[in-house]
Amino acid sequence: MARILGVAGADVVQMAVLERDSGRALDDFTVAWPTGASIDRLCEGLASVPGVEIIGIWPTAEPQGAFPDAALVGQLASNPEDGLTILADAVPGILSADWAGLVLSDPEDPDALMMVHTSLGVFADIDVPEVHPLRARAFTGSDGTQYALAPIGGGTLVLLIARTGAPLFHRSEVFRLEQLVGAAEAVLGGGLAAVIGRLGTVRGPQRVTRS
């Protein structure tokens, strides 16, 4: 695989094994690819390898160092007041998502959603999908957008990530998202509720369009 990618002109910058079972593996490669170059050569090269199936190819950000999860925890600890927005801003680069958002949710009123923060990569009003049930999971939106979410603070807040033109978030990615949220909750500790409260008042809501 590495040889084929190299011949096609792609530089492998990261590889992760998402799943391995019964002699098969689901591998996630992040490669540096020339801007504007057609991916046809890359697809043809990969397809020529016996037993290889291409699940999806989509643009993503450069990986944030060798240990981005640990670096993120350090950033949260050094600036807890902005910890949740730091988390949302960092997650797209860690999990190859287009953007992430923090959604205030009322467990007793599924329609009462308020987007209180979005990461870079959001350029217009967001069609926020149904986030209930409030548990860590991946799902596909009505427009084909792939989403994953993890509740924060017992479900008062939801961390939502999205990407387009890609396969469903793998269960290992959802688990990693859940772990990052758990780490943020542990770092913020007793100050978590106050941070969530400020998100809805200091930053102000964005308009939410339901899809």
Interatomic CA distance for residues 83 and 99, integer angstroms: 17
**DSSP H helices in the chain:** 2-8, 40-47, 68-78, 83-94, 171-188, 192-198
pTM given for the model: 0.81
* pLDDT for position 207: 44
Collapsed DSSP state (helix, strand, coil) of residue 45: helix
Residue 107's pLDDT is what? 61
Count of all residues that appear for the chain in the document: 211
Give 83-108 pLDDT, tens digit per residue: 999 999 999 989 989 999 999 876 66
pLDDT score of 189: 92
CA distance 82 to 118: 13
Cβ atoms of 20 and 26 within 8 Å: the answer is yes
> What pLDDT does residue 1 have?
82
The neighbouring-strand residues paired with 27 are 17
65-86 pLDDT, tens digit per residue, is 778 899 999 999 999 999 999 9
> Could you tell me if 163 and 56 are in contact, meaning their C-beta atoms sit under 8 angstroms apart?
no
Report how many helices (DSSP H) and strands (DSSP E) the chain contains, helices first.
6, 9
Segments of the chain with pLDDT less than 70: 106-108, 110, 123-125, 200-211
What CA–CA distances, in Å, run from 180 to 65, 142, 150, 172, 185? Answer: 16, 27, 9, 12, 9
Q: Which of 121, 175, 127, 124 is nearest to 148 (CA)?
A: 175
In degrees, to the nearest 5, what angle opens at C-alpha 140 toward C-alphas 42 and 181? 95
Express the helix, strand and coil content of the chain in percent, nearest 5 each.
35, 30, 35
Distance of CA 83 to the CA centre of its chain: 17
The pLDDT of residue 55 is 87
Q: Count CB atoms within 10 A of the CB of residue 7.
A: 11
The Cα–Cα gap between 82 and 76 comes to 8
Write down the pLDDT at residue 141.
93
